[in-house]
Amino acid sequence: MLIKGRGISRGVGKGMLLVSPAPVSFLSGVDPDTGCIVEKGHPLEGTSIAGKVLAFPYGKGSTVGSYVLYALSRNGHAPAAIINAEAETIIATGAIISTIPMIDRIEIPLSRLKNDTPVTVNGDTGELEYDGSLTG
């Protein structure tokens, strides 16, 4: 199934989908040395984002979060791609400087996407290739 959205950061990323119902803060919320979400109480606390296609509503926190995304990329623990409901500057900048493909504003709510579904994000065209069934 091809789901249209808006391209934010160029490139193509493939991987298993990891969906967060909550925003993500990369500054102090994600460990750049391991790629694990460490924010206390976050729905994905303890989960690695490395090599996954990470879908979350939007980013939160300091502008330093862009550099944490860059550190994740340099350390080999970055997500394969990012999908946001609505991109904001911190995450978009981090994705661009880290060459992580990113899209937002897809045609369906993120809550309809299922974890562990193989997907392809095309940041050039703004499209999500979704190889599974939707929830709801």
Give the domain ranges of the chain. Answer: 2-130
In sequence order, the 6+-apart residues with CB closer than 8 A to the CB of 30 are: 24, 36, 37, 38, 39, 49, 68, 72
Say what the pLDDT of residue 136 is: 76
Point out the residues of the chain with pLDDT beneath 50: none
Tell me which CATH homologous superfamily contains domain 2-130: Phosphohistidine domain (3.50.30.10)
Residues labelled catalytic:
62
Say what the pLDDT of residue 57 is: 98
Rounded to two decimals, what is the model's pTM?
0.97
Say what the pLDDT of residue 69 is: 97
Quickly tell me which residue has 């944490």 as its tokens.
68
